[in-house]
């Protein structure tokens, strides 16, 4: 069905619309994580990829320095890099940019017709390559830990025509190779979209395709133990719904799926909708998890995010936080968002900054910075 509406619209319309109460004394904390399917080699060669990196190196640090959130931090970015396109020079420059700005690199992978064994080999090689540059969080034994976005949306062999994956026990493979959370969704209008929408939840691998179609919603005091389970994987979904404020032909609502593009950049109006439909940990504090995505290795997208449209959004976000005493806004990386989810599951409330690096530690490249701050 058009835009995969049959898969997600019923769940969206029947969703639980209750939100945790927020007041000036107990404000809502909105955590904003931009999870970038960062593909600088998209339809270009290495020279083109390096040009994109040069633009990021010139434009991103000044933007980070120009704005501050409610924790006193500048914007953050999570670069999910396609590990099958590893290039030593590109990754080293990206790592240096992250070190300078407090951003982080995670794992993106496009693959096709794989088995659990071949997928495992790709993930281990990919994480080892990134780890050599001081990227990725580490387990107690030094093994890399990572967040994941599946290429072409087909997580756990979920495309209805069997494309872009091949591994129907992919969630288990991800857990075995150090993955702590998946950030692929939403995928609509792609048909790999799940019935579960606007959720933070745990999926249990059942050996069948699309094991993550349903799952167990994160809940304070209940699901914290699942984070250590080899049988469950945490998924943090971005917004998926109908945007009645932005209509097609002045009549039909447009799809809101958290995608930041040159044609549809972040705006204060979109931010308002995100805060209305994005998930929180059930029975937890008024903490709202806004996971967005983009393909900002592509010039038409990053020129918007790093240019006037991006600046206007950050200005509007700061103005909104100043005007609303019941709202706090925080820029976070994907790893930090996962730590905050687990903190909420454990009963944390109030000021969240102490939880940004509690649990999953910063990658070695960033570990020397003051807590929650870029080194520069």
Which residue segments constitute the domains of the chain, with CATH numbers given?
A: 2-12+26-355 (3.20.20)
Contacts for 65 with CB less than 8 Å, ≥ 6 apart: 74, 376
* Tens of each residue's pLDDT in the chain, 376 residues: 577 899 999 999 999 888 888 999 999 999 999 999 999 999 999 999 999 999 999 999 999 999 999 999 999 999 999 999 999 999 999 999 999 999 999 999 999 999 999 999 999 999 999 999 999 999 999 999 999 999 999 999 999 999 999 999 999 999 999 999 999 999 999 999 999 999 999 999 999 999 999 999 999 999 999 999 999 999 999 999 999 988 888 788 999 999 999 999 999 999 999 999 999 999 999 999 999 999 999 999 999 999 999 999 999 999 999 999 999 999 999 999 999 999 999 999 999 999 999 999 999 999 865 544 544 4
pLDDT for residue 372: 43
pLDDT for residue 248: 82
pLDDT for residue 249: 83
pLDDT for residue 376: 41
pLDDT for residue 375: 42
pLDDT for residue 1: 55
pLDDT for residue 368: 60
pLDDT for residue 245: 86
Which of 178, 161, 65, 166 has the alpha carbon at shortest distance from 114? 166
The tokens for 44 are 């270009």
**Tens digits of residue pLDDT in 297-337:** 999 999 999 999 999 999 999 999 999 999 999 999 999 99
pTM: 0.96
């Amino acid at each position: 069905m058009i835009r995969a509406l049959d898969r997600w619209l019923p769940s969206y319309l029947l969703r639980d619309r209750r939100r945790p109460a927020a007041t000036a004394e107990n404000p809502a904390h909105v955590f904003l994580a931009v999870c970038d399917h960062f593909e600088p080699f998209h339809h270009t060669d290495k020279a083109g990829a390096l040009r994109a990196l040069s633009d990021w190196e010139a434009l991103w640090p000044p933007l980070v320095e120009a704005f501050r959130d409610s924790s006193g931090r500048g914007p953050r970015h999570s670069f999910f890099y396609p590990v099958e396109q590893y290039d030593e020079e590109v990754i080293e420059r990206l790592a240096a940019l992250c070190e300078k700005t407090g951003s982080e690199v995670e794992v993106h992978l496009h693959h096709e017709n794989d088995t659990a064994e071949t997928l495992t080999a790709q993930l281990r090689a990919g994480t080892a390559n990134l780890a050599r540059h001081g990227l990725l969080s580490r387990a107690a034994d030094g093994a890399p830990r990572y967040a994941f976005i599946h290429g072409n949306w087909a997580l756990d062999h979920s495309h209805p025509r069997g494309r872009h994956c091949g591994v129907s026990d992919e969630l288990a493979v991800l857990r075995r190779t150090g993955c702590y959370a998946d950030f692929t969704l939403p995928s609509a209008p792609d048909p790999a979209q799940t019935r579960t929408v606007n959720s933070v939840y745990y999926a249990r691998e059942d050996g069948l395709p699309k094991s993550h179609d349903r799952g167990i919603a994160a809940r304070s005091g209940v699901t914290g133990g699942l984070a250590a389970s080899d049988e469950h994987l945490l998924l943090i979904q971005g917004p998926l719904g109908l945007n009645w404020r932005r209509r097609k032909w002045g009549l039909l609502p447009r799809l809101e799926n958290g995608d930041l593009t040159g044609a549809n950049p972040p705006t204060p109006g979109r931010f308002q909708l995100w805060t209305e439909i994005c998930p929180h940990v059930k029975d937890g504090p008024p903490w709202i998890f806004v996971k967005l995505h983009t393909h900002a290795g592509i010039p038409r997208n990053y020129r918007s995010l790093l240019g006037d449209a991006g600046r206007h959004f950050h200005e509007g976000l700061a103005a909104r936080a100043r005007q609303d005493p019941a709202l706090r806004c925080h820029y976070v990386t994907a790893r930090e968002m996962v730590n905050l989810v687990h903190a909420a599951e454990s009963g944390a409330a109030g000021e969240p900054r102490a939880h940004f690096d509690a649990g999953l530690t910063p990658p070695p490249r960033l570990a020397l910075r003051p807590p929650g701050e870029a080194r520069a």
